[in-house]
């Protein structure tokens, strides 16, 4: 069809996939006065949207051709379906029903390499395509998410008014912006999720210190997170953690959190972040530690057996004064590690921007993360300001204001890591954050010895201080000593 042929169509936006996220985002658009259409093969999902959208400009379809015919040209259709082969199958099914110039949006958590492939394939066929990361969960989608669209900029311009209307707002500004070409949007969302892994692990390790090190009960742990969330550590993740430590099921004894199995699962985006960072030869150890610790948590039976073999350290108790001192130092340590985790993620974005020609604007990414998304936090204002003042800033830890904040938190960080280590409390993300910082500021790492070792056993050659180029292999075997 051309635009004239479906000029009677009323809907300006279509959604394929009416699960929690797709349905919530579609209703959000309808709340802002946009006539929208939803499609799903699952009759139950169709029925839910029919019920929830009965008083809104929402059309619901179980027929794909009817759904497509209801959309104005150029058609703008978002897919919110599980990442992987399902996305390709949806594209294959809908393409014969579309006209050249129509727009397809992948709003799921697709791997950025899949998005790169789809972008090229659909462009060659005359269709517009872009991948868009969406953060905020069900509540964000319904009331205002943070969105990271990247790819075909002309396609983004068509739907920009809709996305800006439904996005979260901070200081009246929408938490959505064009990220960059190709798979830039999905890449940035992947790194967002990697940072999310790191922050969640830091909070979990804080919980471990509070209950096993300081030996606080849940009521006191609630107060710690409540107090922190009212200060410079304010963030969505601390907010929900506070709530978790106050939740009791109706009629049940004790807190629900105490009955949950200590096994953390994942959908892979943290792993993808670690993998691409290694491919780009850029360290993100705080995020890596979070991914690895989730993996270790899955070996529950092995951990139980090891506990019977080695026993568990019993941390010494602390006096009331010592407890208060450690809580103050723990706040500093969390702040330090949080900053370091964000800094690693932003460094990865900077490196990827060059490697993949994404043309990322780090200040704008920090800006749209300030509201709606899972990693929103007061500190993102500092990140935004740092890259606003210096768009070519090579690393967040080199920003003068950030450096001052980090320096102030270093003493508490060192005390907490040392105390936890002596007490047998595992804090891999905290420890990784400190080691990263100490090596980052280390002007003379011991890597010269690694150069020598590699050349000794493998003739890999080496570089010398003050001289350009790589030098030949040296015979490192010393003369015999009488």
> Which three-class secondary structure state does DSSP give residue 59?
strand
249 is catalytic: no
Q: Of these residues, 41, 50, 121, 189, which one is catalytic?
A: 189
Backbone torsions φ then ψ of 53, nearest 5 degrees: -105, 15
Q: Of these residues, 4, 121, 125, 196, which one is catalytic?
A: 196
- In the block, tokens 């007490």 appear at 423
Distance CA 44, CA 23 (A): 12
463 is catalytic: no
Distance CA 114, CA 305 (A): 41
CA 451 to chain CA mean position, Å:
35
Q: Tally the C-alpha atoms within 13 A of residue 340's C-alpha that lie toward its C-beta.
A: 32
Distance CA 199, CA 203 (A): 6
Q: Tally the C-alpha atoms within 13 A of residue 439's C-alpha that lie toward its C-beta.
A: 12
Query: Residue 302, Cβ neighbours under 10 Å: how many?
Result: 10
Structure tokens at 139: 């509540």
Structure tokens at 444: 């003379």
Distance CA 325, CA 332 (A): 11
From 330, 344, 338, 329, select the one nearest 436 (Cα to Cα). Answer: 344
Q: Which residues, listed in sequence order, are joined to residue 26 by a DSSP beta bridge?
A: none
Active-site positions read: 189, 196
């Amino acid at each position: 069809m051309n635009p004239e042929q479906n000029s009677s169509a009323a809907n300006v936006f279509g959604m394929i996939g009416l699960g929690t996220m797709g349905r919530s985002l579609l209703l959000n658009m309808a709340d802002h006065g946009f006539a929208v259409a939803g499609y799903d093969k699952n009759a139950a999902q169709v029925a839910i949207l029919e019920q929830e959208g009965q008083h809104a400009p929402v059309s619901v379809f179980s027929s794909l051709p009817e759904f497509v015919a209801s959309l104005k040209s150029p058609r703008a259709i978002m897919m919110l379906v599980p990442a992987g082969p399902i996305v390709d199958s949806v594209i294959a099914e809908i393409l014969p029903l579309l006209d050249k110039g129509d727009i397809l949006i992948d709003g799921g958590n697709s791997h950025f390499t899949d998005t790169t492939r789809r972008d090229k394939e659909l462009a060659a066929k005359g269709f517009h395509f872009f991948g868009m990361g969406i953060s905020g969960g069900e509540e964000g989608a319904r009331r205002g998410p943070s969105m990271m669209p990247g790819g075909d900029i002309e396609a983004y311009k068509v739907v920009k008014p809709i996305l800006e209307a439904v996005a979260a707002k901070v200081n009246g500004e929408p938490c959505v912006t064009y990220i960059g070409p190709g798979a830039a949007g999905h890449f940035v969302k992947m790194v967002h999720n990697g940072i999310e892994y790191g922050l969640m692990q830091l909070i979990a390790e804080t919980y471990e210190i509070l209950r096993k090190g300081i030996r606080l009960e849940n009521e006191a742990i609630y107060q710690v997170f409540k107090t922190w969330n009212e200060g410079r550590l304010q963030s969505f993740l601390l907010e929900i953690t506070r709530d978790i430590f106050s939740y009791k099921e109706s009629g049940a004894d004790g807190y629900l959190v105490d009955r949950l199995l200590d096994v953390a699962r994942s959908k892979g985006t943290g792993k993808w972040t670690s993998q691409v960072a290694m491919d780009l030869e850029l360290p993100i150890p705080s995020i890596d530690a979070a991914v690895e610790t989730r993996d270790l948590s899955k070996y529950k039976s092995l951990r139980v057996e090891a506990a019977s073999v080695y026993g568990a350290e019993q941390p010494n108790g602390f006096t009331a004064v010592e407890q208060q001192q450690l809580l103050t130092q723990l706040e500093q340590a969390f702040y330090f590690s949080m900053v370091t985790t964000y800094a690693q993620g932003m460094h990865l974005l900077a490196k990827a921007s060059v490697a993949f020609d994404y043309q990322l604007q780090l200040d704008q990414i920090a800006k749209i993360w300030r509201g709606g998304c899972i990693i929103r936090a007061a500190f993102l204002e500092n990140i935004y300001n740092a890259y606003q003042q210096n768009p070519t800033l090579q690393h967040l830890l080199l920003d003068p204001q950030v450096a001052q904040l980090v320096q102030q938190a270093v003493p508490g960080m060192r005390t907490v890591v040392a105390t936890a280590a002596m007490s047998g409390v595992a804090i891999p993300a905290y420890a990784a954050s400190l080691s990263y910082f100490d090596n980052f500021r280390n002007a003379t790492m011991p890597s010269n010895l690694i150069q020598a070792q590699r050349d000794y056993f493998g003739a890999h050659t080496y570089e010398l201080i003050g001289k350009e180029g790589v030098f030949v292999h040296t015979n490192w075997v010393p003369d015999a000593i009488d």
